[in-house]
Amino acid sequence: MSHAQVHVVAHPLVQHKLTLMREKARSTNSFRRLLHEISMLMAYEVTRDMPTQLITIETPLETMQAPMIDGKKTVFVVIMRAGDGFLDGMLEVVPGARVGHVGLYRDPKTLVAVEYYFKMPQDMHERDAIVLDPMLATGNSAVAAVERLKETQPKSIRFVSLLAAPEGLKNFHAHHPDVPVYTAAIDRQLNEHGYIVPGLGDAGDRIFGTK
């Protein structure tokens, strides 16, 4: 299912694992494992139209031309810290990808994203960037991260989240209408504290077992 620049990954396995992750009683270990599995499944959707090139190989029977992707041209851009939980599963599918990091924290009073770290591979103009953050809530962190990423002039940018709120999608595409968003679900709304509801709580806290 997709609408404009929003693609909802409705595969039954993705939805099943997301339901398990939403459960309040789910342990940190189980939550982390499920996120790893769901990120692998979502990687297949995000990379569905990744460009390939033909190379010459030898099968046991003959020489042939066969397609290969250039994983080194892909950059997974992690929005710290919750985005780290998304990364390992993505790298299992595209092990040759480079990794960039954007460090942001949300001011608890203003909900505005504040940057404290930014590190990308060289030659970003040759690379396709896939930004990872499990929660697209207010959208402020996503907007700030992609705005900063655009300064490096990557070939393309995609944004991947586990959950999104309508308010976050509206905010994000008001600033970045050219960037497609891939998500497993669009939840009902944000609460007064800027959390997605029904949601699954604070993704970073549930991944790392912190409060």
> Would you name the residues annotated as active-site residues?
106, 110, 202, 205
Contacts of 7 (CB under 8 A, 6+ apart): 1, 45, 180, 181, 182, 183
Angle, alpha carbons 170-202-44 (nearest 5°)? 65
Position of tokens 């900063």? 148
Q: Which two tokens stand for residue 147?
A: 């705005």
- Tell whether the torsion through CA atoms of 141, 18, 98 and 55 is positive or negative: negative
Contact 45, 13 (CB under 8 A): no
- 10 Å CB burial of residue 5 (0-12, 13-18, 19+) is middle
Decide: helix, strand or coil at residue 115. Answer: strand
Instruction: Report the alpha-carbon distance of residue 86 to residue 197 in Å, rounded.
Output: 20
